[in-house]
Amino acid sequence: MSLPRVNVVVIGAGAGGGVVAKELSQAGLRVALLERGRWYTANDCRKDDLRNQRTSVLGNNSGPDDERNPRVYLDLDGSRHLVLPSEGAYSNNAACVGGGTLTYGAMAWRYQPKDFRMRTTYGALEGSTLDDWPITYDDLAPFYEKAEYEIGVSGDVSNDPFKGPRAKPLPMPPLPPTHEYEILKPAAQRLGLHPFDIPMLRNSVPYNGRPPCMRCRWCVGFICEVDAKCGTHNTVIPRALATGLCDLRLGCMVKEILTNDQGKVTGVTYFDAHDRLQEQPTDLVVLSGAAVESARLLLNSKSKLFPTGLGNRFDWVGRNLQGHAYSGAIGLFDFDTYDDIGPGANIAICDYNHGNPGLRGGAMLANEFIRLPYQTVNMPPDGVRWGKAHKDFMRKAYRRTIGVMGPTQEMPVFGSRVQLDPIVKDFWGMPVAQLSGYQHPHTLEIAKVMAGRAEAWLKEAGAVQTWLNLPGNGVSGGQHQAGTCRMGNDPKTSVVDSWCRVHEVDNLHVIDASVHVTNGGFNPVLTILANAYRVSAHLAQSWKGKV
C-alpha cells in the first residue's frame, strides 16, 4: 500500500537534508523528511563522558543503536571485522534530527578557494584521484554567507589573511578568550603567524531566539544543555515544519529508492517506526544520509536498469571515502593552562593550509576542545599507558597541557570505499556497508609536517615538553566522512553533476558531504550547509519553471 504522493522525499535530517527540507518547503513543495533516528532536544542533554558521540565506549547518545546497525570493516590485511556504531572503526557520525550538527564541536569553516582547485593548484598525484571541484569558491560564497546567518556563526575571521573573499562579517562576535587563547595568541604572532577566533556554529550572544553558550566543558559529542549550539535541528528544520508542507517522519529507515523503466525515480520504500514497510511515491528524491549511508542506499537500490546500484554505472559510488587525517601535537607546560572554560577550541591559524613547500595542501591548526579526564588517558608520551608512571603523569599534566590539532586535507584514494557486505545484513535485512581502504602516503607526509608546525607553535608558547599525534594509515571517515558520490562534469569519473544530480537519474540528488571531491583542510559542515542552500535554490527554481 502506498502513501499519498509528495513532491520530494528527503532522506536524512542532518546538515544537508535539514537545509533542503526548509528551502524546498518554503518554496511550496510538499516534503517528506525521513529520519532513521529520533529528535533530541536540550532536555535530552546527559553529560555522560563515556556515552556520547565523541567517546562512545558505552554507546552513542544520538544514534545509531548498536543493536540494529552493524557494519563490516576490512582492515589493512583484509581481515573482516563486524563493527558496531559505538566502535571506532564503524566511522559513525550520528542518527538523529540534526545529524552531526546536534553534538558537533561546531567549527564553521569556509573552505579556501584553492581547496576547490586541488588538481589545478598541485597537479595530478599518482595513486590519488585528486581533482578539482566542478564549482568554485565564488559559486559557494553567497551560500556560505546564508548558512552563517541563518544557522548562526560566532567568531572573528577578519584577521585571517588566507580566507576567500567575503561580503559580510560573521553575525556574532567570538566568545571571550580563555587562558589557552591568551597563551597561544602571542606565541603565534611571535612566529609571524596569523591567529584569529575560530568561526563556530554556536551562539555567543542571544541569536535566533536561543541563548548564548554558558561555557561548560561538555561540548563536542554532547547535546547542548542550553541549546546554544546551532544545528539544523534547532534552526532550519523547525522552520521547515512551520510551513505546514514538511512532514518529518522519525524512526524511518529507507530500504530502497525505486525507479521505473525509464530510469526515473518514482518513490522510496522504508521501514517506519514500527518496522512496517511503507512505499512513498514522489517526484524527486534528495539523498542526504552522509557519505557511508548515502552510498550504501544507492548501492542497495538495484533494478534491471541499474544492476549495480543507482548512479553506479562506472563503479564510482562509494569510492574515494575520506575524512581528515587529524594530526598535531601536545605541549606540557610548567604552569596551569586549564581554566575549565568551554568549549575550549577558540584560536586557529590558516597559515599552513596551502603553500607548504613540496606538499599538496595542509591543515588549519587550532587548539583542542576541552578534553574530559577519560579522553586524556592515552595522552602520555613514550607509550606510558598504565602503572605509577601513568598516574603520576595524569596528576602532573592534566591541567598543564595544550593540544593543537588540525584536519589534514586527504589525498582521495579510489580504493578507499564503501561497498555492500556480501554476508552481513542489518535488522531490516538489508546488506550493510563494508568499509575498506587506506591513506595515501602523501596524506601522511603532510600530516607529519602539520604535526611539526603544531609542535613549533606549542614550543614558542612555552611548552617544556612536546610530542606528536600522528594519524594511522587506515581509511578515515567518521564525523567528517565525505567523497563517496563525487561531484563532477564527467559521468565516467563522478556520480553527480555540479547540481548534485545523479548523472543517470534526472530526479535524484545527493546533497551531503558525499559529493565533496576533496574535503578541505577544515571541518566540513559549513560547506555541506552552503552547498545544500546552493542546490536547493536551484531545485526550487527549476521546480517553479516546471509548474
Partner 1 sequence: MSKQGALSRRRFLQVAATVAASSAVISCGRRAGPWRFFTPAEAHTMEALCDQIIPADQDPGAAWAGTLYYIDSQLVGHFRRLQSAYREGLASFDAACLSANHAAFADLPFDQQTAFLNHLPDSLQPFFHMVISHTMQGFYGDARHNGNRDAVSWRMLGIPVIPIRGRDQYEFPKKG
Binding interface with partner 1 (CB under 8 A): 47-50, 57-59, 86, 205-206, 211-212, 214-218, 225, 338, 340-342, 373-374, 376-377, 385-388, 390-391, 394-395, 398-399
Q: CB-wise, 57 or 277, nearer to partner 1?
A: 57
The CB-of-290 to partner 1 minimum distance in angstroms stands at: 24
β-bridge partners, 33 = 10, 248
Do 134 and 168 touch, CB atoms closer than 8 A? Answer: no
The CB-of-47 to partner 1 minimum distance in angstroms stands at: 5
The CB-of-217 to partner 1 minimum distance in angstroms stands at: 6
Q: CB-wise, 37 or 343, nearer to partner 1?
A: 343
Burial 202-225, CB ≥16 within 10 A → b, else e: bbbeebbebebbebbbbbbbbbbb
Q: Give the cell for residue 115.
A: 581547496
The CB-of-372 to partner 1 minimum distance in angstroms stands at: 8
The CB-of-49 to partner 1 minimum distance in angstroms stands at: 5
Give, rounded to a whole angstrom, the gap between the first and last alpha carbons of the chain. Answer: 28
Q: CB-wise, 48 or 504, nearer to partner 1?
A: 48
CA distance 467 to 331: 7
Alpha-carbon radius of gyration of the chain: 22
CA distance 440 to 519: 14
**What is the residue-wise DSSP string for 262-318?**
TS-EEEEEEE-TTS-EEEEEEEEEEE-SHHHHHHHHHHH---SS-TT-TT-TTS-TT
The CB-of-58 to partner 1 minimum distance in angstroms stands at: 5
* Residue 540: alpha-carbon gap to chain centroid: 25
CA distance 513 to 497: 14
Q: CB-wise, 51 or 166, nearer to partner 1?
A: 51
- Cα 18 to Cα 30, 231, 233, 235, 377: the distances in Å are 14, 9, 7, 9, 36
Q: CB-wise, 111 or 207, nearer to partner 1?
A: 207
Q: CB-wise, 47 or 459, nearer to partner 1?
A: 47
Helical axes 441-460 vs 179-190, angle rounded to 10°: 100
The CB-of-43 to partner 1 minimum distance in angstroms stands at: 15
Q: CB-wise, 212 or 263, nearer to partner 1?
A: 212
Do 360 and 411 touch, CB atoms closer than 8 A? Answer: yes
Q: Which of 224, 218, 285 is nearest to 101 (CA)?
A: 224
What percent helix, strand, coil does the chain show, rounded to 5? 25, 20, 50
Q: CB-wise, 87 or 497, nearer to partner 1?
A: 87
**What is the residue-wise DSSP string for 93-116?**
---BTTGGGGTS--B-PPPPGGGG
The CB-of-470 to partner 1 minimum distance in angstroms stands at: 20
- Cα 77 to Cα 74, 81, 237, 324: the distances in Å are 8, 11, 43, 22
Q: CB-wise, 52 or 266, nearer to partner 1?
A: 52
The CB-of-376 to partner 1 minimum distance in angstroms stands at: 8
The CB-of-154 to partner 1 minimum distance in angstroms stands at: 12
Q: CB-wise, 398 or 428, nearer to partner 1?
A: 398
